[in-house]
Chain A
Amino acid sequence: MNRLRLIWRKSLNVVALTLTGVAALAVVSILFLILGYLIYNGGKSLSWDFFTKLPKPVGETGGGMANAIVGSLKLLLLAALMGIPVGLMAGVYLAEFGGKTFSFVIRYTTDLLNGVPSIVIGIFAYSLAVLPVKHFSALAGGVALGIMVIPITVRSTEQFLRAVPGTLREGAMALGASKWKTIATVILPAAKGGIITGVLLALARVAGETAPLLFTAFSNRFWSPGWSQPIASLPVMIYTYAIAPYDDWHRQAWAAGLVLLALVLVANVGTRLALSRGGAARSV
């Protein structure tokens, strides 16, 4: 009887281990499958031209997406300028100042904002920044992406600030630091690493957004000087090229996908490395 139960328990263990292990493996392999597929398909069509040339007119092969790469970077810069300060400060408010009810409302609203479909945010940015001036612009695209950056930044900032031990706050205050001084000189530096990572994740997330850009930044087959012209971006280019009937465009769409992913990965890994070399803040 006992022996039977032991065998049952052991086999149950094996089954559970196998199921969870397979699931874990699946998670990893999905990423690597995507990566491998992208490298295989995109790598073939990646060339120096892709980074330096403008798209060729329909019917001609070759050309590149230099304008879309720069466009994506410009849009991300705008999104960062518009979204990060608001998100950061709201996060500080939630973690350090907020009372009970008001904080709850903000937190809940932030989560809702995070859940708003990106296309809806696109429509909102359209009515806010496109309709009044009657043309698409990089600025409008930046507004749309900036809005999407806010909730992720708020929540990650709040979370990392809360993780800073209360004893540090007391230590600073016992030396006569005001609340704001404590936050600015002790709490924020202590949470710096986490906050930067959170902000980067937010930017990485919106770097791949297509829907909100379709009718805000639109796209552009040429360079887009300044901030008030329609501007090309990698995700929209991928969308346009992938649904076009030309094989050459399909190849370029793969290459664009690879570049987009590489940009996000490099930014992410790069910052993490820089932060871990930074030292002190890490061990809190």
Chain B
Amino acid sequence: MISVTPGGNSLAARLAPQVRISESSPTTSEREAPLRFQISDLNFFYGSKQAVFGLNLKIPKNRVTALIGPSGCGKSTFLRTLNRMNETVRNTRFDGQILLDGQDIREMDVVGLRRRVGMVFQRPNPFPKSIYDNVAYGLRINGYKGRLDDLVEHSLHRAALWEEVKDFLHKSAFALSGGQQQRLCIARALAVDPEVLLLDEPCSALDPVTTAKIEELMFQLKDSCTMVIVTHNMQQAARASDFTAFMLDGKLIEHNETPKLFTTPSDPRTEAYITGRFG
């Protein structure tokens, strides 16, 4: 078994000492917590190939939900349906229902949806612009008329990057290191003040120290933001999330509070995966 005990002697605990698991977990059961996303009977298709099968999931507000599972199990696909990013891929469709705060996302304006549901990608993808312009981008295209300076600073603060970049905001974003670039991308997503942040393996291209920084950041963001993170790293799911959903072959196998899922998985396939017997 993977050790997930808080403050335990595991590598995970040493890497991210500030991130505690059990304290952030809700005492109430998941069903009673206010919900952000409610997904029912979701089927997703790439052309004629089905990638997600009858998925039902509730994502509670201001919590971190981790999606784990082997490569190709449909977790990224599922994540990308939440802000309808899959629409940019030809020949994709889904049926079933996804409710964001009780509202069907299919009936929402896609621009409005993506403004409320931000996304951070696997590899840092800053625009070839200055640090400042990167953060201001989302505000500008949404026609924000207020003082950009304040919001840019605020967003960089929230992404824990301000101190490192405040003296050269107008330098190219490419001058930053990989970890800084990823935090810049988080700041860019936070600038439009989204209610949800989708993170698609945000740390897979980063070293452990930077990863710890991003996990700490997620911990701090929880007050204002619901997060859904796809990760291949089970220690990360254990450290940084409140709920974990395990997917396999496009199906949701198990979903529970993170400590429960990792200590007492109810499905043998979950246990096999988290103990490293496959995947």
Indicate which residue in A174, A280, A283 contacts B114 across the interface (CB closer than 8 Å): A174
Q: Is the CB of B111 within 8 A of A178?
A: yes
30 A-B pairs within 8 Å (CB atoms) are namely A168-B128, A169-B88, A170-B88, A170-B121, A170-B125, A171-B125, A171-B127, A171-B188, A172-B141, A174-B85, A174-B114, A175-B115, A175-B137, A175-B138, A175-B141, A175-B188, A176-B110, A176-B115, A176-B142, A178-B111, A185-B137, A186-B128, A186-B137, A189-B128, A190-B127, A279-B172, A280-B129, A280-B130, A280-B173, A283-B174
Q: Is the CB of A176 within 8 A of B189?
A: no
Q: Is the CB of B128 within 8 A of A176?
A: no
Given that A177-B141, A185-B141, A280-B172 are known contacts, is A172 also in contact with B111, CB under 8 Å in the complex? no
Once bound together, how far apart are the Cα atoms of A190 and B192, in whole Å?
A: 23
Given that A177-B141, A181-B141 are known contacts, is A172 also in contact with B88, CB under 8 Å in the complex? no
Interface string of B184-221 (1 = CB under 8 A from A): 01001100100000000000000000000000000000
> Interface residues, chain B, CB within 8 Å of chain A?
83, 85, 88, 110-112, 114-115, 118-119, 121, 123, 125-130, 137-138, 141-142, 172-174, 185, 188-189, 192
Q: Is the CB of B112 within 8 A of A176?
A: yes
Given that A173-B85, A176-B138, A185-B137 are known contacts, is A168 also in contact with B125, CB under 8 Å in the complex? yes
Once bound together, how far apart are the Cα atoms of A167 and B128, in whole Å?
A: 12
Across the two chains, which residue of chain B brings its CB closest to A192?
Answer: B128
Across the two chains, which residue of chain B brings its CB closest to A169?
Answer: B88
Q: Is the CB of B127 within 8 A of A176?
A: no
Q: Is the CB of A174 within 8 A of B128?
A: no
Once bound together, how far apart are the Cα atoms of A174 and B115, in whole Å?
A: 8
> Interface residues, chain A, CB within 8 Å of chain B?
165, 167-178, 181, 185-186, 189-190, 279-281, 283-284
Indicate which residue in A172, A173, A279 contacts B127 across the interface (CB closer than 8 Å): A172
Q: Which of A167, A174, A185, A279 has the most CB atoms of chain B within a 10 A radius of its CB?
A: A174
Closest 8 CB pairs between A and B?
A: A174-B119, A167-B125, A175-B138, A280-B172, A176-B114, A176-B111, A171-B125, A176-B115
Q: Is the CB of B128 within 8 A of A281?
A: yes
Q: Which residues of A contact B110 (CB under 8 A)?
A: 176
- Within the complex, the shortest CB–CB distance from A94 to chain B, in Å, comes to 16
Q: Which residues of A contact B85 (CB under 8 A)?
A: 170, 173-174
Across the two chains, which residue of chain A brings its CB closest to B172?
Answer: A280
Q: Which residues of B contact A174 (CB under 8 A)?
A: 83, 85, 114, 118-119, 121, 189
Once bound together, how far apart are the Cα atoms of A279 and B130, in whole Å?
A: 10
- Within the complex, the shortest CB–CB distance from A192 to chain B, in Å, comes to 9
- Within the complex, the shortest CB–CB distance from B196 to chain A, in Å, comes to 12
Q: Which of A171, A175, A178, A283 has the most CB atoms of chain B within a 10 A radius of its CB?
A: A175
Known: A174-B83, A280-B130, A284-B128. 11 other contacts (CB 8 A): A165-B125, A168-B127, A170-B88, A170-B119, A173-B85, A173-B114, A174-B119, A175-B188, A176-B115, A190-B127, A280-B129
